[in-house]
Structure 1
Amino acid sequence: MRIKRIRPDTVVQARPPGRCGARAWLVAILLASSGGLAVASAAHGAPPPRQAAFQPPAEELIVSPLAATQTLERKTPGLFFGRAAEPTAARQWELVRRLEHQKERRAAAKACDALVRRWPYAPEAAAAQQRLAEVHAERGRLKRAFDDYRYLIHFYPDQVALATMLERMSGLARQTLERGHEARARDMFLLIADYAPQWSGSAAALLAAGDLLRRDRDWFEALATFERVTARFPGSDEAQRAAAEGAHILYLLSQRYAEDDSIHVRALAALNATLRDYPAHADREALAREREELAARRYGRHFDMAAFYDNRRFNPETAVAAYRDFIRRFPDAPQARLARQRIDVLTGAAAGAPTEPRGSGE
């Protein structure tokens, strides 16, 4: 093997690296530069450039656009509407201010809408959308104002005071209800709860929506809405009322579906839970009466089902099995004593002693 000697005064040129070599050199340079930046930042008392993920304030966590039941698309300029009169968002916002100074609120609202449509990601877009909602609210256009606030918290949740916006949306829903538009107000309340499931005001919104559903006799939807209140806001005043309303609805459903034992069980469980969890409830006596009446009705129904087999058409063993099943399920029922007596009589008949069978109607 021949070794080539290099003179001391010879300049050696590096051979250009291949594709893999170039990548290795690039990675080495990036690592060296990042290390140098970190050292320099630490030397000046500043944090390194790679920081932890940003954690928004607690208020921003109360809105969940993805939880909404309906989708929402961004506004875009139309062919004959939503056209901006100025070339930039900043100048368009100045136009809005001038129109407001001139008391031309309708023109200012159109200018705000055009700004949001033309420059949806500009710094002025959130302020313009909020001002658009405020103008519509001032003009009494409640539905438009509510939709504008919804658009605001959907696309600009980190640029507005969310609690304030939600309070305004709740106020618009209440005003809509006062005007007699119950279905529209119900949808508004439900939408607020969908967007802000952890907001404390959502309890009142859900309770109002549940009342409207109950008023429309939409029992199952009202029950589901009241159960959302008790599940999300346990211990609150709204949860106390929602629990009672839900238990009462189940009691009414047990009367309507007299043969559905699952509803009877669910209603008794709801009544017992409400009386246990809220002993100072204002309607405690009424709830207790409903529980007693439902329990008595359920005992009588199941005893009649057992007594149906206590006649000459069936063997005594069948009636004994039915009575024993009743005692097993309802040992504290008033009819349990009579069921034990009939078991003694029927077992004696099976042994050969004469007896008169009991009819199912007795």
Structure 2
Amino acid sequence: MDCEHKISIETRLHAGRLTKAGLALLAVCLAATGLACGTAAAQPVPPVETEAVRQSPVIRKLELSGSISSPHASQISTLVPGLVSKVHFDSGAYVKQGDMLLELDSELEQAAYEQAAAMAAQAAGEVKDAKRRLDIAASLAQRKYGPQNEVEARQAEVEIDTATHDSHRAEQKRRSVILDRHKLRAPFDGVISKRMVEVGQWVTPGTPVFELVAMKNFRVDVPVPQDYYARLRDGADVAIEVDTLPGEEIPAKIGALIPVSDPDARTFTLRVLPTRDNIPITPGMSARVLIDLDTGARDVVVSRDALIRYPDGRITVWVVKTDGDKTSVTERRVEIGLAFDGLVQVLSGLEEGERVVVRGNESLREGQAVQLAS
């Protein structure tokens, strides 16, 4: 029984046309219809947030997986053979360029260096004495007290002693270099990821003793299908996602395109460099590289929040309709294309300028009145 029937019955009651049985039935009906009418009158108008359908450049977003690597990761070895006498750092230690990592027993080499230094000093004295004798012979010959051939002999003696001195100095320098190579220093700043030597161990050149990894200027290498090579060569917006910062995009730039990477898979390597410092990442971690490629097309787009997805595959939006003072919604099926930056390309179903609901669209009904949120 609706509200109009209720009013009709009440009118007939006042006219004295109902029996006692009719009065009882009327009481029940009035109670039921009164509750229904009151409920309908009290139903609230839900507030919704809307946005205008607009046109935008369409971006193709690629998401590729790669690994974080360091620009410097080296297995370090000594340049001379020897017995390890001291190890200054262990695995996990952070070292700076030039820090002493280990020392080899250099007692014999130190003695050889000192001997070479002594011989160079002796040769320097002989050169000095030869030059003194040359000056005397030249002075005597100038005053006609000595023969000219004596001057020439002294000159040859100076040249021979100078050559001997140069040879001993070269030997001293060689011994100094060998002595210094008994001390292994860090070639760059980084973390010792692995120590492979102990005190008392004999090592030879080429045998790794430390593994050192630089902990800055990280990069991410990802394989990319060859179809995108030309567009990436012209530049693109890139970002990185890592598990240590869930939901956050780290700004980055393209560092290099390595053209021939895997000819069988028809891919090349894209090297991406983060442009932000102090990121909680280490070499070996996985990372996702997000690449925005401009397709060169423009199309209708809406926010992703405007879409309602159904289990049967249908995708709809709630379109706002205004008729005078009344604002209502109607459901419309759409076909979508690419998704990017929180937007979705709409291939059909919407026109530019229409308004769609983006908040409060979870429980709307066809034709339902709504209130636009300010």
Higher strand share: 2
Higher helix share: 1
The TM-score normalised by the length of structure 1 is 0.24
Kindly name which structure, 1 or 2, has the bigger radius of gyration based on alpha carbons: 2
The TM-score normalised by the length of structure 2 is 0.23
Q: Which has the higher contact order (CA 8 A, sep 6+)?
A: 2
